[in-house]
Amino acid sequence: MSDGQAITLRRTALYDQHLALGGRMVPFAGWEMPIQYKGIVEEHHAVRQRVGVFDVSHMGRLEVTGPQAASFLRGLVTYDVAGLEAGKGHYALVCQEDGGILDDVFVFRLADERFLMVVNSASADKIHDWIRQHLHSSLQVTVEDRQAQTVMVALQGPDAQRYLARLVPSLAEGLGRQRSAEVSLAGVTVFFSRTGYTGEDGVEIILPSAAGIILWRWFVEHGVQPCGLGARDSLRLEAALPLYGNDIDATTNPFEAGLGWVLTLDDGADFIGRGALLRIREAGVQRHLACLKAQERGVMRAGYPVSHSGRQVGELTSGGFSPTLGVSIGMVYLPTELAGVDTELDVDIRGKPLRTQVVKRPFYKRPKSS
């Protein structure tokens, strides 16, 4: 590189733990993160069948407090977060004025005047700037970055609630879906939410870094499989959860991405992008994010061209091998007339066509617990 510029990758507080576990470290959104420990497929299955733990400390964590925190956030995101009761959270989008997606986030209401917003690592600075830009000094709102002092881990899989009950007896009855709780454990405040990015049941936990290292070790010593970014990606793709920067970005709108359910448009409350989104809803969209499943061997990946009857109709926004289904899967924006289930499409794999079919979203849905 010129000018002697060096790219310094950031490390989470769990970096040494990853090395000790044989984690293979890779650069990701400016961070040095483990892509795998034992192997992506094994880690993937551990989460589907038992339980795995991910270091997600690279995710941005902003605490928004003050008498006007609720109304400020309501004006920033697409979902009616001001209507959340304390202890509940919801997935939401930050849109720009034209309805394009700036980030997908999770907003938790910790208390009446206190919110936590979890944002993508690659978007953290952008969202922080966006907030500063829209935060008028007259508003009684404080925004604090909670990332540096804390660790965030995701415990995911059918056994996750059992581990949670062992760890926090007061939560033994279970944490309701999308519920969150702040619990004092050995003198430190620990945030739990029943959320995740794998399509499995699970909890995400935020706590001070030193305590986070102890918690991570406890999980690993008690049989929880440490999982890296590789399994995180294959798990979220099977669940057809969009990846910001791949499946959604500023050039895509929530309707075509299948995220209409994340919009609260009819409560009268204004938010950035609402006018454009109302117009898009009225006009309808011309393309939809569709799920493709390979009908033969071969692996489709992000960026590969997709064609119908010999004519290119799109490019994959995500793609990979599904360990659960044993075949390759991917997502692509398709013109509405081609986005219906069973449509047959070819993915161009370095010059060779791979036969695929549009399938119902998501690829994988966890079995209903009894």
Partner 1 sequence: MPSPSDRRYTKEHEWVRVEDDLGTVGITDYAQDQLGDLVYLDLPSSGTQVKQLDKLGEIESVKAVSDLYSPVSGELVEVNQEVVDRPELVNQSPYGQGWLVRLRLADPAEVDGLLTAEQYDELIAQAQET
Quick one: which of 37, 43, 32 has its CA closest to 20?
Answer: 37
Nearer residue to partner 1 within complex by CB, 263 or 331: 331
Q: Considering the complex, what minimum distance in angstroms separates the CB of residue 236 from partner 1?
A: 14
Nearer residue to partner 1 within complex by CB, 10 or 45: 45
CB atoms inside a 10 Å sphere around CB 328: 23
Nearer residue to partner 1 within complex by CB, 42 or 63: 42
Q: Considering the complex, what minimum distance in angstroms separates the CB of residue 36 from partner 1?
A: 6
Q: Considering the complex, what minimum distance in angstroms separates the CB of residue 5 from partner 1?
A: 21
Nearer residue to partner 1 within complex by CB, 195 or 356: 356
Query: CA-CA distance, 298 to 123, in Å (whole number)?
Result: 32
Nearer residue to partner 1 within complex by CB, 60 or 199: 199
Quick one: which of 90, 99, 81, 94 has its CA closest to 128?
Answer: 94
Q: Considering the complex, what minimum distance in angstroms separates the CB of residue 35 from partner 1?
A: 7
Residue numbers at the binding site for partner 1 (CB under 8 A) = 35-36, 39-42, 230, 234, 297-299, 301, 320-321, 323, 328, 350
Q: Considering the complex, what minimum distance in angstroms separates the CB of residue 45 from partner 1?
A: 11
**115, 108 contact by CB (below 8 A):** yes
* Exposed / middle / buried, residue 287 (Cβ in 10 Å: 0-12, 13-18, 19+): buried
CA distances to 111, 207, 266 from 282, rounded to whole Å, are 36, 44, 13
Nearer residue to partner 1 within complex by CB, 276 or 302: 302
Write phi, then psi, for 325 (nearest 5 degrees).
-90, -20
Query: CA-CA distance, 207 to 134, in Å (whole number)?
Result: 29
Q: Considering the complex, what minimum distance in angstroms separates the CB of residue 160 from partner 1?
A: 23
b (16+ CB within 10 A) / e for 48-71 = bebbbbbbbbbbbbbbbbbebbbe
Q: How many CA atoms lie within 13 A of 209 on its CB side?
A: 14
Q: Considering the complex, what minimum distance in angstroms separates the CB of residue 114 from partner 1?
A: 40
Q: Is the dihedral of CA 18, 23, 27, 33 positive or negative?
A: negative
Nearer residue to partner 1 within complex by CB, 41 or 269: 41
Q: Considering the complex, what minimum distance in angstroms separates the CB of residue 317 from partner 1?
A: 18
Q: Considering the complex, what minimum distance in angstroms separates the CB of residue 213 from partner 1?
A: 27
Query: CA-CA distance, 204 to 212, in Å (whole number)?
Result: 12
Nearer residue to partner 1 within complex by CB, 68 or 328: 328
The two three-digit tokens of residue 324, written as one number: 């659960």
Nearer residue to partner 1 within complex by CB, 175 or 354: 354
Query: CA-CA distance, 88 to 194, in Å (whole number)?
Result: 10
CA distances to 85, 167, 198, 276, 342 from 226, rounded to whole Å, are 33, 17, 14, 42, 37
